[in-house]
A and B are shown apart, each in its own frame.
Chain A
Amino acid sequence: MSTNYFNTLSLREQLEQLGKCRFMHLDEFSDGVDALKGKKMVVIGCGAQGLNQGLNLRDSGLDVSYTLRAEAIAEKRQSWKNATENGFTVGTYEELIPTADVVLNLTPDKQHTAVVNSVMPLMKEGACLSYSHGFNIVEEGMQIRDDLTVIMVAPKCPGSEVRAEYVRGFGVPTLIAVHENNDPKGEGLALAKAYAVGTGGHKAGVLMSSFIAEVKSDLMGEQTILCGMLQTGSLLCFDKMIEEGIDPGYASKLIQYGWETVTEALKYGGVTNMMDRLSNPAKIKAFDLAEEMKDIMRPLYNKHQDDIMTGKFSETMMADWANDDKELLGWRADTAETAYEKTPATEDEITEQEYFDNGILMVAMVKAGVELAFETMTSAGIIADSAYYESLHETPLIANTIARKKLYEMNSTISDTAEYGCYLYNHACVPLLGDFMKNIKSDVIGAGLQLNHTGVDNARLIEVNDAIRNHPVEAIGSTLRGYMSDMKKIV
């Protein structure tokens, strides 16, 4: 196994890389796609990201084709169909890679080592290799040929949105980075910028980051708040509701769609808006619960961040990869056997507001998880912008997967890296919150507060509102969401 790239750097270099993150302004993209004009771009992988990015790049006047494994072409697999029906040239690695000026690796993380090892010898002198996630470079320490330029362009939305926004004449927020060890001609940034323009990303905002900042923040976000907290929260809340005599079908539905509903409020107006959806007494209750949970869970978030920084996490996970995913598959099977997973949701309607009113604990968990993940990342040297995208921004996206098909499906469909981290978190967090959950009753999960009067103390409400609104994730969030909507509603 190769050595972890991050660990080969000095502390000074590590901090410098982690701290790299800058919101770029529209006028920095005045060269458009010029840097890629006339160059041959070859995409590896034709899934949702691969296909939709390719469609955008071609519509921006760039030369795009797809390379697939010979078997996928011979058997006319779905990926082959996707590319051909959309009018793209498709060829094997041997046919297309040697002609490519830019190779876009848009395959799943886990395949990166194999894919890069097979394409690298075929790549022409001085070409560019592009990633959408830096795990392979940073954690697996993949060594790329010295003559090749290595960049990253990562749209922060699912593939279909990448396309839909482009077609509208807009784009999605995008993160770009250059791997400084592999920028022999100093053209990495120009290429990454042109690529971002080609997908429409520049219109919605581009974050200039580093491979390291991307990986270390992405891993932290996905295993704690994004997947881990939602998994732990689902299991704890469901079991508590059953214990409290809530109808199991109702409990199952409240959780399945509750995460999506409450985080939708988060997407529009941050933690503040999500909390504002609660009545005043419920808001104060949720605030107190979140504060309590943050104190309990802080050491766990720190441990996750530490293990990610030292490379212990990726080392453990890669050992399981080498062991045919034994742990991962076992944990996945265990999730499928949980009471929550096995209880079908009721057909009865739950109104949008009811998800908030009867899901106070869930709101508190989202608040605690988002803020803790953000605080932990920023205190580890990750810039607030990155930390925001990898915590608050992506939570609604993952919540949406639970709404579709509950936990088992969420876990089998997110990346294996996220899933592995999610289970680690869950195994530690469930017992950690054991004592806390003993004091929880159905008033905060399942039945609502059911108060006869909703009066609160003014001073206390002001104090709680201030604390919510002044959290650093709210400041950066409103700035970044502001950029997005400024551009959307430029008028």
Chain B
Amino acid sequence: MERAGESSVRELAEREMAVSGSALEDAVLAERAKAGDRAAFEQLYRGHAGRAYALCLRLAGNAHDAEDLLQEAFVRAWQKLHTFRGDSAFGTWFHRLSVNVVIGALRAKLRMRPADYVECPGRAASASPGLRLDLEAAIAQLPDGARIVFVLHDVEGYRHPEIAALLGIAVGTSKVQLHRARHALRKELGS
């Protein structure tokens, strides 16, 4: 069930991105990159690596895999640039591509987990001070299924039907995973 008349967080972010000046600059860079201009593609990397890395880091749960996935996403983007037609902002297009790359890599791992495998994360011994870092560490320690659904839904603004389609799971499973993730995080952050 979606809220009638309201846009998701992701849609709002996409609209904001589409009307920004940087989107126009990106469109020009993307056109140059499509023609084989590597320098233009590097500029796109500079502009979007941080956003994509945040996504990869939170979905993968560790920096090592996140770095591999980020590189894979940009390599895949270079290969698929010919499919970018400018209907949406480059950032939107690339973000979706990144999600698909990460989910594709993690899907097999996710399916190997029992559906009800969720445990409360332990507090990271080396967690840095500050609530944000505690929250990041707690997210990273969630079981894969719960973490991925939580990041996609609560951080990235995806809806359950979209998540279910991406992950190849039932909508109900997505909701259960989100519920468990939130419960575990509340418990962790409240302890």
To the question of whether A and B form a pair in one complex, the answer is no
B-side residues, CB < 8 A to A, are: none
